[in-house]
A = this chain, B = another copy of it.
């Protein structure tokens, strides 16, 4: 078993959370442990238990926890009194990041983007992206998609589909139209056709859009992976109608759904790209908005933010690019693990008449309802596996294992999942079954 669930004598005082932490907290409710240390794919609680992390900070920890190379780079930087915070002043750390991003990421992919350091959260990068698109085009409407998730601040929230999140706004969410994502109406209906018709029709009620804002794989919306062909059509429609194509690669990027960018090799180039989550490589707050150089018409300071220069994140991001992306071996390994994940999930799905979702190392299984999914993730947690759900009804159990996970550990985690799925879907006790644990 992965965890040691018995509370020790030194169990931490968790009353402080009831007393002082807002009710808005979520994950700590279904995973009521207090964690202290973390290394690679493992999280350790304060009572001696350890957990295999198939959540990875919702794809913020693609290289696992506290990767030694990143950790060393950061400690060296701090030890040397490297600048921690300098607003948007030039720093050695920023310079190194920009040069590395250019060398390792942009140039090999033939991409030419300017980098905007927004506030270090994904929602801030999205807000900057839609502001820029509105500024460039002089239009107001953003076309977002069903089940899209883009953040919690008012501009990004308007682009988010989830009713629970939207309801928190307290004001109507405007200037956005949610069009059907790829596959939304089933296989028979190509939703790009629907969008094309609405855009071409001057009486459709759809105003001329400033931008299309799309995830290639919808991380929170159910791991729906758009077909490359659909994405190319969307890109072409944006171009035809004078809208900018914004790919929100915050969850799917940094290797999670394929290459460094989730849209690599698909035959189109977004006008604007947002990145965050795993960008720092170590879970530090860091976000970027990339834009075609000719779109970079910002006035100085027109969009700013105190923490737009998180130098610690520059350091770890630079180290992560060099460590993982300078050599194709990493991407190859990720692809191989993605294959393992795909096969295992497909097997589970076939066994129970279910279906899978996703791409790369961003995959899940549709277990039919949030209730069943919750039963599964809860059973996994009891067995030492941290795993969460996704989708409109939380009906998708999603695997967001570290990209760096060893194959054997990945398989061991999937064993736990497979077991939990089997129990939840066909809860008849079969005597020949036994738990497949990983020694703590």
Give the shortest distance, in Å, between A278 (CB) and chain B (any CB).
Answer: 10
How many chain A residues touch the partner (CB < 8 A)? Answer: 153
Say yes or no: A172-B174 contact (C-beta < 8 A), given A20-B98, A95-B13, A153-B124. yes
| Binary flags per residue of A138-182, CB closer than 8 Å to B gives 1, else 0 | 001100111110011111101011111111111111111110100
Q: Would A16 and B152 count as touching, CB distance under 8 A?
A: no
Query: Which listed segment binds B: A200-208, A320-328, A330-338, A407-415?
Result: A200-208
Scoring A24, A25, A152, A155 by chain B CB atoms within 10 A of each residue's CB, the highest score goes to A24
Q: Would B207 and A121 count as touching, CB distance under 8 A?
A: no
Q: Would B302 and A165 count as touching, CB distance under 8 A?
A: yes
Give the shortest distance, in Å, between A119 (CB) and chain B (any CB).
Answer: 4
Write out the residue numbers on chain B whose beta carbons fall within 8 Å of the beta carbon of A297: 23
Cross-interface CB contact of A306 among B22, B91, B122, cutoff 8 Å: B122
Say yes or no: A102-B19 contact (C-beta < 8 A), given A58-B87, A163-B207. yes
**Assembled-state Cα–Cα distance A12/B115 (Å):** 19
For this chain, the copies found in one complex come to 4
Query: Which listed segment binds B: A283-291, A350-358, A417-425?
Result: A283-291
Write out the residue numbers on chain B whose beta carbons fall within 8 Å of the beta carbon of A46: 92
Give the shortest distance, in Å, between A438 (CB) and chain B (any CB).
Answer: 19
Give the shortest distance, in Å, between A321 (CB) and chain B (any CB).
Answer: 14
Scoring A38, A75, A121 by chain B CB atoms within 10 A of each residue's CB, the highest score goes to A121
Q: Does A347 sit within 8 A of B, measured CB to CB? A: no
Q: Would A17 and B102 count as touching, CB distance under 8 A?
A: no
Q: Would A101 and B20 count as touching, CB distance under 8 A?
A: yes
Known: A120-B120, A153-B154, A155-B169. 10 other contacts (CB 8 A): A14-B90, A23-B298, A25-B300, A119-B152, A127-B152, A131-B169, A160-B205, A161-B204, A167-B302, A168-B299
| Binary flags per residue of A203-236, CB closer than 8 Å to B gives 1, else 0 | 1111110100000000001100000000000000
